Amino acid sequence: MDAAKLATETFNLDKNVKGKYFFSITNNLDNGYMTTGGEAYQTQQVEITTNFFSGSLGGFVRAVHHEFVHVFQRAVLGYVSSVTHARREYFAHLDSVYNSDLPAASTAQISFWKSRIPYYLKEMQKIYQVPAK
């Protein structure tokens, strides 16, 4: 948790959501390494698994930033429904890849986030019934 707090302070990752979240540590998450949860317009829990504290600094900072995008989406914008899930992930992954204010991540980490962007775009097309090209 100290690593997440240090990354947050060093790179000002919570500049738009100060006071709208808290960190917690868990030994296992079924859906990956980090997750954000909470009700719309309320304080959000950013949960991090203990096995995530490895890899590049840039990848770690970008992953923490990704969760802060979700904190903003949920606590400030009120996006919590399953309908908005694909949209929330699409924008969080996009920002994780292209945010130039964050340290560089490994090619593998960037490739992973890039690979998820088309998936969430397709999910949004299904939800909003937009014909695929």
Which has the closest alpha carbon to 40: 14, 77, 67, 66? Answer: 77
Question: If phi over 0 gives left and psi between -120 and 50 gives alpha, with beta otherwise, what is residue 24?
Answer: beta
Q: Does any domain span residue 132?
A: no
Categorize the per-residue pLDDT at 25 as very low, low, confident or very high, splitting at 50, 70 and 90.
confident
Domain that holds residue 53: 2-127
27 domain residue, yes or no: yes
Give the residue-averaged pLDDT of 79-89: 86
Within a domain: 14: yes
Closest CA to 61 of 101, 102, 94: 102
Output phi, psi for 64, to 5 deg. Answer: -65, -45
The better pLDDT of the pair 26, 61 is held by 61
Task: Give the tens place of pLDDT for each residue, 59-69.
Answer: 999 999 999 99
- Strands (E) located in the chain: 21-26, 34-37, 44-49
Residue 115 included in any domain:
yes
Report how many domains make up the chain. 1
Would you say residue 16 lies in a domain?
Answer: yes
Residue 73 lies in a domain: yes
Residue 26 lies in a domain: yes
**8 Å CB contact between 24 and 47:** yes
In a domain? residue 133: no
